[in-house]
DNA sequence: AATTTTTCCGCAAAAACTTGCATAATTACG
DNA sequence: CGTAATTATGCAAGTTTTTGCGGAAAAATT
């Protein structure tokens, strides 16, 4: 059996039952546990699953709540937020959507920054409200508890009449050909409106989100101005974006 | 069973019934109590639950942070919130503004209540987002950092087109002749619009607020339907309200 | 105060993982 | 086609993680 077949089989099983065990795969695929471990490691490096002691679990485990997502890859998110924070300039009008990475950025806005921020994210707004130099404007609408953001027509209407300097998107998936994509249609709509309403587009993406894609397109790759991520511009994961002229930070 | 599965199961159970016991989990998941204890500790370290003697509870229920302990008359506010919570009925469309008393009420919405809540308060919206039966709609606008509420034209416009069943106001001052009054002009405007948009008006007021008045009038005394407070209807502080036909709870 | 329940601590066994290495399979190329 | 290079696999030894247990400590209950 070819390695690729095994990988496909593992991912298939993972989709069906959310988890796989090293021992179980070793038996069904008739290879040693060591080989399975190496398979899982490779797939984990591609962000296709999450390796745990005893096997692996699906990264896109659906019943994840906001709180649970917040602790996932937390250290990496903080590093990205720190890198992004130094790129902000006073006087800007900024659009920010939700996401746990954006929340870390909101917490790390430079103390002396003066800016106006429009956001549809409750946690981001809460974090920014403690900042002395930032005027925060919350987009109204129905609250999605899973993502802690508001959606709906009111927010879209407000964005339609706005010309902001910078949009900071927390994306679920960033792909060099497909662009920034989302899994929820209502969220995707608001994000699209945010992108439309601003000059520049910055995205913070942890490694696991690079090269991934979801059903609803938020922005095409060429819309992206800055991509803040962990791998450098030479890294195969980031290089395709650099080739498009996107600033890799 | 993988450790992560157990964790997911624990969190799932916690989300549904907001508490779990060590013994119960040990039985359902078929591992020793020590293992459960270690699981709970790990999850507690990630901030995903709160460990208590005998098991764990949802963090949503116990946000007794250092800040909240210092809230003025906190215990009294909690008692008022408990009294008000039992008066809520399923199917209602409710308007809620901010304030620490309203926040305590939001945390104590009956678990089986089904309702739609419009609010301009960030903490109230955050608390309600954890409630399975409540649809939360946030009023947009500029964020006042001191009160953690939004103000502005967008919220006023939305309220103008609304007919709600109940308005729950957290008032700064309640006077039997002057009515409910506020100290901030912008907040007063939103509150006034909320009162206008609903059939009934309920207010939770700690003793210290009774008989007080502030510059901006939000609602006349006769608008008030229910006053939830500590003194009984015979008490000289509450009697003038009872005389107006207001329900004292 | 006594008793029961729950938690904490250290330990030991089992399971799972890592690493280095030898061998087998596959691919590359003259 | 044959041989070298590369890659994949399995094995063994050592390490880490996980788990359950006994007993002491702490907390709740009576």
**Cβ of residue A207 closer than 8 Å to a chain B Cβ:** no
Beta bridge partners of A50: A57
Cβ(B204)–Cβ(B224) under 8 Å?
no
pLDDT, position A235:
79
Task: Dump pLDDT digits (tens) for B85-114.
Answer: 999 999 999 999 999 999 999 999 998 999
Reading chain A (249 residues) residue by residue, the pLDDT tens digits are 788 899 999 999 988 888 999 999 999 999 999 999 999 999 988 878 899 999 999 876 545 677 777 777 788 899 999 999 999 999 999 999 999 999 999 999 999 999 999 999 999 999 999 999 999 999 999 999 989 999 999 999 999 999 999 999 988 889 999 999 998 999 999 999 999 999 999 999 988 788 878 899 999 999 999 999 988 888 777 888 999 999 998
Q: State whether the beta carbon of B3 lies below 7 angstroms from any atom of strand D.
A: yes
Rg over CA atoms, chain A: 19
**Strand ordering across the sheet containing A93-96:** A247-248, A226-228, A198-204, A164-170, A93-96, A115-119, A134-138, B141-144, B149-151
pLDDT, position B61:
53
DSSP, residue by residue, A50-102: EEETTEEE-TT-TT--HHHHHTTTHHHHHHHHHHHHTT--TT-EEEE--SHHH
Cβ(A55)–Cβ(A13) under 8 Å?
no
Task: Return the C-alpha torsion angle B230, B233, B235, B236, nearest 10.
Answer: 120
Backbone φ and ψ for B121, nearest 5 degrees, come out as -105, 125
pLDDT, position B68:
54
Searching chain B, which residue's CA lies closest to the CA of residue A59?
A: B4
What are the structure tokens assigned to B194, written together? 């909320």
Q: State whether the beta carbon of A53 lies below 7 angstroms from any atom of strand D.
A: yes
Closest to A139 in 3D by CA, of B140, B142, B157: B140
Searching chain B, which residue's CA lies closest to the CA of residue A145?
A: B129
Where chain B has pLDDT below 70, the residues are 60-71
Rounded CA gap, B149 and B138, in Å?
10
> pTM of the full predicted structure?
0.83
Q: Which nucleotide does the CA of A4 lie closest to, via C1'?
A: D8
pLDDT, position B218:
96
- CA–C1' A34–D13 (A): 15
Distance from CA of A52 to the nearest CA of B (A): 8
């Amino acid at each position: 059996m070819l390695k690729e077949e095994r990988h496909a089989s593992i991912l298939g099983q993972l989709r069906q039952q959310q988890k796989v065990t090293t021992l179980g795969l070793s038996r069904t695929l008739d290879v040693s546990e060591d080989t399975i471990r190496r398979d899982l490691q490779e797939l984990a490096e591609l962000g296709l699953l999450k390796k745990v002691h005893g096997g692996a679990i699906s990264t896109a485990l659906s019943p994840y709540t906001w709180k649970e997502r917040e602790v996932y890859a937390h250290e990496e998110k903080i590093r990205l937020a720190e890198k992004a924070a130094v790129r902000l300039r006073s006087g800007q009008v900024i659009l920010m959507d939700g996401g746990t990475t954006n929340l870390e950025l909101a917490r790390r806005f430079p103390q002396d920054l003066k800016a106006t921020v429009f956001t549809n994210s409750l946690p981001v707004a809460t974090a920014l409200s403690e900042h002395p130099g930032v005027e925060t404007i919350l987009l109204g609408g129905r609250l999605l508890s899973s993502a802690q953001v508001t959606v709906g027509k009111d927010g879209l209407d407000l964005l339609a009449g706005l010309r902001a300097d910078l949009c900071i998107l927390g994306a679920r998936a960033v792909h060099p050909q497909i662009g920034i994509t989302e899994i929820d249609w209502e969220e995707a709509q608001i994000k699209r409106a945010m992108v439309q309403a601003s000059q520049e587009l910055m995205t913070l993406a942890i490694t696991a989100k690079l090269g991934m894609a979801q059903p609803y397109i938020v922005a095409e790759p060429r819309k992206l101005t800055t991509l803040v991520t962990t791998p450098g511009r030479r890294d195969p994961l980031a290089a395709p974006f650099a080739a498009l002229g996107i600033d890799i930070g």
